[in-house]
Amino acid sequence: MLDFRVKTFLTACQLLNFTETARQLNLTQPAVSTQIRYLEREYGVKLFARDGRNLVLTPQGKLLEQAMRHLANDERRIKNQLKNDDLRTLTFGVTKTIGETALIKILAVYVKRHPGVNIKVTCANTASLLRQLQNGSLDFALVEGNFPRDLYAELPLAKEQFIGVAAKQHVFKTPPKRLEDLFSERLLVREPGSGTRNILERGLEQENFALSNFAHFIQLENMHTIIELVKADCGISFLYKAAVAKDLEQGTLRELDLADFSASHGFSFIWSKKSLFGGEFAQTCQELRDCWLEK
């Protein structure tokens, strides 16, 4: 069992306020300060510092937070396994785009292989999934956005083309050959923090452009809604070709062939490199990958 002072430290890391930490843990503020000082003496370093009125973590504090959070997450998982020794639950996250494309096939095959397993799946954008991995809410995640490779182990699932699309019947003011030909259009785009938006932003940055170059936009958190609005000729969008393969085949959408935009990005399983259960997560992700590849 982790020392109670570790819980106080991790809460203080999250709130960066000793008074709020005390209130959340039903402690006094002096008790929180005493526990933090104990850890500082134990490790021989300062864990927090003042930046004006703000409380901030020192570099050593950040390092200890990362290590202790991994230990706390693993302890929580051990407790759950001890309480439910005869019942396995698979807890992972997927980005919203993957949830609407690849997830169905993966789960359909996996459930047939493991009929006795319970499964909890969280669909959120990449930024949210990374936060949940950090706090231990998820064992692993399947993401399409960018992530810190120094913190997470990776198992690639697939690499998909990222393209611009418009309704088949859409009439452009200028036949689009380059990105700037699209800037008079309304852009349908995902919310900040989504992997899909991040990939588009990076592609635009490479050509010294930004989302703000588009005349109008609609921001949505649901990929299916974006696709339906594009089909209804409410704007253009950039997304994974796999997400609109049927629409392209049926002719309700068309791909935009742009000379200065060509992108592809991978879908990858990721989990914490420092987790005691890393080997188990890797094995599970490999089997889920096999489910995806099964004909």
Q: What is the pLDDT of residue 252?
A: 96
User: What are the residues facing 212 on neighbouring strands?
Assistant: none
Do domains 84-158+266-293 and 159-264 share one topology? The answer is yes
Residue 4 pLDDT exceeds 70: yes
Percent share of the chain, pLDDT over 70:
97
Q: What is the pLDDT of residue 177?
A: 95
Mean pLDDT for the stretch of residues 148-168: 93
What are the structural domain ranges in the chain? 4-82, 84-158+266-293, 159-264
Q: What is the pLDDT of residue 71?
A: 81
Q: What is the pLDDT of residue 87?
A: 60
Residues in the chain, how many? Answer: 295
pLDDT digits (tens, 9 = 90+) for 60-94: 999 898 888 888 877 877 777 777 655 678 899 99
Residue 276 pLDDT exceeds 90: no
| Exposure string for 39-58, b = 16+ CB within 10 A, e = fewer | bbeeeeeebbeeeeeebebe
Q: Yes or no: is domain 159-264 CATH 3.40.190.290?
A: yes
Question: Under CATH, to which class is 4-82 assigned?
Answer: mainly alpha
DSSP string, the chain: ---HHHHHHHHHHHH--HHHHHHHHT--HHHHHHHHHHHHHHHTS--EEEETTEEEE-HHHHHHHHHHHHHHHHHHHHHHHHHTTT--EEEEEEEHHHHTTTHHHHHHHHHHH-TT-EEEEEEE-HHHHHHHHHHTS-SEEEESS---TTTEEEEEEEEEEEEEEEETT---SS--SSGGGGTTSEEEEEPTT-HHHHHHHHHHHHTT--GGGSSEEEEES-HHHHHHHHHTTS-EEEEEGGGGHHHHHHTSEEEE--TT--EEEEEEEEEETT-TTHHHHHHHHHHHHHHHH--
154: closest CA among 267, 293, 287, 70?
267
Residue 213 pLDDT exceeds 80: yes
Mean pLDDT for the stretch of residues 84-107: 82
Q: What is the pLDDT of residue 286?
A: 97
pLDDT digits (tens, 9 = 90+) for 229-268: 999 999 999 999 988 999 999 999 999 999 999 988 889 9
Whole-prediction pTM value? 0.72
Average pLDDT of the residues of the chain = 91
More confident residue, 102 or 244: 244
Looking at mean pLDDT, say which of 70-74, 95-99, 117-121, 256-260 comes out highest. Answer: 256-260
The C-alpha atoms of residue 126 and residue 96 are separated, in whole angstroms, by 9
Residue 137 pLDDT exceeds 90: no
Q: And the tokens for 190?
A: 């995902």
The C-alpha atoms of residue 78 and residue 85 are separated, in whole angstroms, by 10
Q: What is the pLDDT of residue 74?
A: 79
Q: What is the pLDDT of residue 70?
A: 80
Q: Yes or no: is domain 84-158+266-293 CATH 2.40.270.10?
A: no
Query: Dihedral angle at the C-alpha atoms of 175, 210, 97, 290, nearest 10 degrees?
Result: 100
